[in-house]
Structure 1
Amino acid sequence: MEVLGIRVVSNPTGAILALGFIAGGVGLGTASGLVPGLHVNTLAILLAALAPQIPAAPHLVGAALLAAGVVHSFLDIVPTLAIGVPDAAMAVSALPGHRLVLGGRGREALRLSALGSGGAILTAVVLGFPVTWLMSRVAPLLIEHLRIVLLAVATLMVLTERSKQAQLGGVLAILASGGLGLLTLDLNPESLLPGGDMLLPLLAGLFGIPVLVLAAKGGGLPPQSGTTLATDRHQLGQWSLVGAVSGAVVAYVPGVSAAVAAVLAFIGLPGEATDRGFIVAISGVNTANTVFALFALIALGAPRTGVLVAFERASLPPNLPLLLVAILIAAAAGLVLVPVLGDRYLDLVGNADSRRLSVGVGLLIAVLTWVFTGPLGVLVLGVSALIGHLPIYFDSRRVHLMGVLFVPLAVG
């Protein structure tokens, strides 16, 4: 039938099948989000490799991939908050989310993150077309002068550190991680399973292992209290909008990662931005990037996330209406799953021995690294972990370790 000149086609069987694939993607993203060291990019590449053998239309596989990426961007905050928590005595140098957990406000942090991601999804869907139109004209200029852009970003990150010692630590972290990236990013490791690349040991070593070492020295999670948000809707909206806009920058400018964009977003946050504002903003960056990256792929032919790299490798058709539906369904699932599973995750970790838990998670990361990148990846994991302690030693922000990506890009 036709409604206002638009032909409406009813296909209940196709709709049910599409919902089934989207639900499968939600499950995939949930697994990758809750398992430390297991990133959705790795699972996406594996799924893309299997795509030709899946007896279904390719666009359904694409919907599942994108749903997995969205749900992962919601749920990856859970193990970050629950497992990577240092001792209470180190709260001053801990990450913003950790400080809330150490103060017994982990449940509130989970809900702030979910709202930041949810608000960013809505913003990205609404602004996707106009932002893409604008960035399709601005991005080529930025990419042409990418070295200058990345140098300016690195300089700003260092200059906004709170002390000379922290600034020195930032410079050393950028140079050390960047040098490691230059040496290892293009390596092709031999492994048991396909789908791994050197980003797995690099990022796990730089960002994951040092936090686990701190957590092993700590006293575990303190009791977590209520879920009331200590902020108002106006502030939440502002923080989420800043995160969404920053996520657009990540999607269109290579080398500016979500972590880098989060720091830049935090600098520009309106009002008295606190740890809560940072959590909302960084969650918004991660999730909005997933949506804007889809528009960037369609408009510019440039995949900016691991999920969309897998999407392109498998030659999956970008059925935009279906993919937007998948995004919205996955976002609704993420909003529910973060508090429901996150609260239980905090309870489970809170009852565990922090030392044994940290050692167990570290071993899990090492095993996953070996499975996907082989012995070479394990070696890189160890070197990365040593470099990852530089910001801790100098009391500087860990975001400087993203030099592992933007130094190789700047060098070309």
Structure 2
Amino acid sequence: MRMSVIGCGYLGAVHAAAMASIGHEVTGIDTNPDRIAALAAGKAPFFEPGLDELLAAGVASGRLTFSADIADAAGSVLHFLAVGTPQQSDGSAADLRFVHGALDALLPQLRPGDVVAGKSTVPVGTAAGLTERVEGAGATLVWNPEFLREGWAVRDTLHPDRLVVGAAADDSGRRAVEVLREAYADAIAEGSPFLVTDLATAELVKGAANAFLATKISFINAMAEIAEAAGADVTRLADAIGYDDRIGRRFLGAGIGFGGGCLPKDIRAFAARAEELGRGASVGFLREVDAINLRRREHAVRLVLEAFGGSVVGKRITMLGAAFKPHSDDVRDSPALEVAIRLRGMGAKVRVTDPEALGNAAAVHPQLKYVADRDKALKGADAVVLVTEWDLYRRELSPEHASTLARGRIIVDGRNCLDPQAWRAAGWTYVGMGRP
């Protein structure tokens, strides 16, 4: 199938490369010339495991091309809208300017019978407002939300745990669904569920999924606050309740909370849209979910302060991590960097290390000191704070080795991913999140 992907940021670049890898002829469109140049050379402008290989293979095969000219999208049967929907600068709602701008540019290129598939995360009701414009060009709009996890995006696109397509319940909608079914034929043949819904439900699926995930993470972080006050261990608590198959253990890891360019802004936009619909009370709990999440960053700083007796002035503190999660170089709304900035503001001499994210971190917070090599970053540290659970830190750094590098013996585990007994046995003061 010949298809275009409008918007080649994180979502669009991965989607374009994945679709080309299963045999489709794909044209990626973006207004950023530097991004287009990198992608056309088979190189991702961000870190995502496996993506460079997929891009290079697609470009070499001739099935994957990139362009800054929207006219090159003409002739495609299927057009994916994959532009960003950031949080508005003056509120919590989603900024839909890029969605509307992309559609405005695409409309003159559409032919009767074409299908436009929205993949961007948008407030419910957005698709209904776009449908008339797309139909005016003789095309059909469907909504096909993405469910990518940074660090696993290639796998999630090629082998999705579900495919959702929202469409109108008429002949054109049904034909459009069949186009999507053909586009995803390989995944469907592998057993990925293919769910057909109305447009509004498809829009709600992504927001509801993110809201549930954020709630689960903040729930265990709230339990961590209670565990600390009671002298309990939140990790054992999570183990115990996780055996209940109605709850499950995944994402019950207490720590400094979630970040990134999606989850925080998406739950805020979800709540904002509920307010617009007159149902703000239905998701009022999301305000507290957000508050708990932000509070964890403050708590991590407080734990470091307490470990030093109330002051970090002049103390050398090494931060293990800068990205908001491992297997990513994304530092948007990164809890790791926020903790680092706060400690620096309190007078600490902060060094930050990360295997992938230092370039992006330096662009956002040039005032911090960045050290690429883990061991060099640890040299002479008075305290170590683990804030991103890369294997380089959680599995490959032994307390004995760290002891040969650091000057102090304080380790604050912001992700509860280290073995407290092993670190304490090696002479370290181990401080966890919600652990005695």
Q: TM-score, normalised by structure 1?
A: 0.23
Higher helix share: 1
- Greater Rg over alpha carbons, structure: 2
